[in-house]
Structure 1
């Protein structure tokens, strides 16, 4: 026996599922007014829709932060457009996920998606938002930075596209914040030279040696005397040191005082950094180039010249 599909029933299903009014009406019609069956149908239909959108590039979004005295959690949530990333529902989901990471400390992204926020998992909430907004939405990554004995300093760039956490072993919080801003601006890849993988140094060395050899050939072609082997070796080592200083936090010149390195700054303040994390939205994702004009013309049936 079917139940009449009234406006009140549609409203109740909408409040329960968050689905659109027309989708709720269709689901109730299809299930004879059975609200439980309609809610399940919406859930299944929504999962299918979300799966269809999963292949679309999501390189916009935000990084959300949640912090305590012991740890800081960062979560990157991605969308297809910056417009969606500015929405309250999208940002609310990112913030809730960061708080959940801080509280539960999941071991993997899959574990995060399985955590519950209220009566639904984060994956269920993500899929619901996909159905509501119509864009692919993905939890890309998260980080949990533990205290190293000193302050935990954070910096979020306006727009929430770049977030940094610095774990100090000792030192003032204000110094940590300055370092976090430096890291946001200068994007060091490693803490110090010791942290740079040996294969990365060896790869760069090969490139530098080839460059130095090419320079030597050009000088010889121009009638100049060849440089001694020891001089060439010193040139290579100098370029390696420069490379390491450019990609390491301690080796970089401090952004607020270019006359000293971060390492010298830390020594002058009797401070130390254990580790840091920098997340930038969409970093490393190959963005699809879209010709919106061509899309509109195609939809309108207009052939491009």
Structure 2
């Protein structure tokens, strides 16, 4: 059996991210052959990932980043809050986000097919799963392109937002406030015109059923249902929501006070837990 030196173990650990004892064991089994030791560690990582494939990866790190008029958001999920707060895990999530911002893939599958440090990202995630000892899953990726994009990353890395504007010279405080509004109030659309007829019909049906259960007269049930739809749209659409910092005005009014021609072109919001 080859004499395994501490320097070789350290080198293998740096290359794979595996624990010291795992690296030493792999080198011993590979009789000191460095490349074979790397293969052994990756095989074990794949085996661990396979065993954990049916686990629930509901914790994680949600990250958003902007580069000019492009903003990307990812969620790297894991099994436990302990790992979600682990520095190595968070750094790995950030490296995936940086890759997304640099390469601008079309969708999640295209992102997984990109290379990170010379390896396909999907394989790197499997390797990391073996190293960390939990199921890891790149659960979400999306992006926004606009004249101006603002990101908000919530403390704890469990929530992020992106919002796009039609003008590049948006007041920074306004952009930040709108991004934080989205985080706090979780709108489903920019304006009522962006809400699908299916969603509105569902809310109208709920309103009718509620009114009937309360014994309201049939001749006013529809009016009550429409009132509930109007209330829903006010609370669920960004521009019609009350501004969290000043409930006397809506987000639409707040934005127009800054610039009458300013418009929100779209937004993203994603959270774990």
Q: TM-score, normalised by structure 2?
A: 0.90
Residue 209 of structure 2: aligned partner: 210
Contact preservation (8 Å) 1:169, 1:272: yes
Taking only aligned residues, the RMSD between alpha carbons, in angstroms, comes to 2.0
Counterpart-to-counterpart distance in 2, 1:16 and 1:181: 39
Residue 5 of structure 2: aligned partner: 7
Cα drift, residue 97 of structure 1 = 0.9
- Per-residue CA deviations over 1:148-196 (Å, capped at 9, x if unaligned) read x3x3222222112211111111342321111111111111111111111
Counterpart-to-counterpart distance in 2, 1:72 and 1:35: 40
Partner SS state of residue 205, structure 2? helix
Structure 2 vs 1, CA of residues 234 and 111 (structure 1 numbering), >3 Å: closer, same or farther?
same
Counterpart-to-counterpart distance in 2, 1:268 and 1:22: 61
Residue 275 of structure 1: aligned partner: 266
Structure 2: segments with no counterpart, 5+ residues: none
Counterpart-to-counterpart distance in 2, 1:94 and 1:45: 22
Cα drift, residue 141 of structure 1 = 0.5
Structure 1: segments with no counterpart, 5+ residues: 218-225, 283-305
Counterpart-to-counterpart distance in 2, 1:42 and 1:235: 64
Partner SS state of residue 239, structure 1? helix
Bigger drift between 37-46 and 172-181 goes to 37-46
Cα drift, residue 11 of structure 1 = 4.1
Counterpart-to-counterpart distance in 1, 2:106 and 2:193: 27
- After superposition, residues 11-50 of structure 1 pair within 5 angstroms as 11-50=10-49
Cα drift, residue 199 of structure 1 = 0.9
Q: TM-score, normalised by structure 1?
A: 0.81
- Per-residue CA deviations over 1:215-236 (Å, capped at 9, x if unaligned) read 235xxxxxxxx47x2x433222
Residue 140 of structure 2: aligned partner: 141
Bigger drift between 191-200 and 10-19 goes to 10-19
Partner SS state of residue 250, structure 1? helix
Counterpart-to-counterpart distance in 1, 2:212 and 2:16: 67
Aligned length: 268
Contact preservation (8 Å) 1:254, 1:260: yes
Contact preservation (8 Å) 1:54, 1:136: yes
Structure possessing the higher radius of gyration over alpha carbons: 1
- Per-residue CA deviations over 1:234-264 (Å, capped at 9, x if unaligned) read 2221111011111111121111111122222
Alignment partner of 2:160 out of 147, 159, 163: 163
- After superposition, residues 191-230 of structure 1 pair within 5 angstroms as 191-216=190-215, 226=217, 229=219
Contact preservation (8 Å) 2:207, 2:226: no
